[in-house]
Amino acid sequence: MQINETRIEQFCREEYAELYRYAYALLGNKDDALEVVQESFLRFYQLAQAGEIRRHDRALLFRLARNLAFDRIRHQGVREAYAQGAQGTSQSNVLAFAPPRTPEDLLLEKELQQCANQARARLSPKEQECLELRSNGLSYREVAAALSLNPNTIGSLMARALRHFRQAYEEILEKKGTRHKTGFTRRR
């Protein structure tokens, strides 16, 4: 079967940034994330050559990256780092027209990011992955395919993960005595 190399190359370029962010979130190391992304694209290309690419190209690519990242974690013995969550998740560039931030703003932002990382670390690995994939723009169906789950279960898994994150985040903020608007509404 003849593969469309131009289509595959374009697809890989479009998915590169999101796949890298996902791999980095899993591994917490730039070099390891780059290697996982490159290996994922290579395996994706090999599967395309073998005629095994189906409808969920994007989900397959993220599943390949997930499996390679977990293999790397197992071989390097850094399960501990994964359980604590990736530190310093990548943020988008500050817009040129954004008002300058004061040192207090930067300190509060850093503290809130640490609280979010701690809250994320309290989630189960499956909940963490679900939120990470969804935050990288994958649809519920693609998340299900990447995690090898039934698509009908992703909605409830996502809701549970968000509820657990919200609870953990608010508990951490209460313990620290940090007062600010979280954007979450309390449900009783």
19 assigned to some structural domain:
yes
Look at the chain and report how many structural domains it folds into.
Answer: 2
Point out the domain boundary residue: 86, 118, 144: 86
104 in the same domain as 54: no
What pLDDT score does 164 carry?
92
Cα separation, 26 vs 28, in Å, equals: 6
Closest CA to 122 of 70, 161, 67: 161
Point out the domain boundary residue: 86, 109, 139: 86
44 in the same domain as 111: no
The CATH number of the domain holding residue 179 is: 1.10.10.10
Point out the domain boundary residue: 61, 86, 111: 86
186 in the same domain as 112: yes
104 in the same domain as 164: yes
What pLDDT score does 142 carry?
87
What pLDDT score does 180 carry?
52
Residues 6+ apart with CB under 8 A from 130: 143, 147, 154, 157, 158, 161
What pLDDT score does 59 carry?
85
179 in the same domain as 113: yes
Residue 180, CA distances (Å) to 82, 108, 112, 133 in order: 28, 9, 10, 27
Q: Which residue ranges in the chain fall short of pLDDT 50? A: 1, 78-84, 86-98, 181-182, 185-188
Q: What is the pLDDT of residues 32-79, one digit of tens each?
A: 899 999 999 888 888 888 777 765 578 888 889 988 988 887 776 544
Length of the chain: 188
Range of the domain at 21: 1-86
What pLDDT score does 117 carry?
86
188 in the same domain as 118: yes
Cα separation, 127 vs 129, in Å, equals: 5
93 assigned to some structural domain:
no
Residues 6+ apart with CB under 8 A from 11: 57
110 in the same domain as 153: yes
92 assigned to some structural domain:
no
